[in-house]
A = this chain, B = another copy of it.
C-alpha cells in the first residue's frame, strides 16, 4: 500500500524517464499503454486534437492515464483540467461534443494526437479552432 501523504500512483510498471512523475491518480488504463507514456511531473501528456475529416488542428488539452482510458473506451474525448483539477468530457456542458475516431501516441510517449468528429466549435470562444490568433513571422519560408 502507498505511504500516507505520498502521491497516489498506479500499480503497473512504467518507464522512469527524468520527466515522468508516473500516474498521478488511480487509473484503469491498459498497463501496456500506460507503460509507454512519459508524463510531466504532474502526470500528464499533451493531447493535440484535430478534426478527423479536414485535419484542422482544433485545440490542445491534457490527459492523465485515466482521461486517456476514458477517451479510448467511451469514444468521447475526456481531458484533465489543470486549473479545476478534475476530468472534463468535451461537450458535456457546451454540447460541442468530440466523438473520437482515432488516437495516436507520439514517438517518445508524451503527446497524443486525437482525431475527432467535432460538433460545433472546439474553442470556448465560439471559434471552430482555438488557434485563431496569427503571430507575425518576419522571415516566413526564408531558405537563405
B-binding residues in A (CB < 8 A): 18-19, 33, 36, 46, 48, 50, 54-57, 59-60, 68, 71-75, 82-83, 99-108, 110-113, 117, 123-125, 127, 130-143
Q: Compute how far the CA of A134 lies from the CA of B110 in the bound complex, rounded to whole angstroms.
A: 14
Chain B contacts of A60 at CB under 8 A? 46, 48, 106, 110-111
Residues of B contacting A133 in the complex (Cβ-Cβ under 8 angstroms): 36, 104-107
Chain B residue nearest to A19 (CB atoms) is B82
Give Cα distance in the complex from A68 to B136, angstroms. 11
Of listed A60, A75, A127, A130, residue having the most chain B CB within 10 A: A60
Give the residue among A46, A50, A74, A141 with the most B Cβ atoms within 10 A.
A141
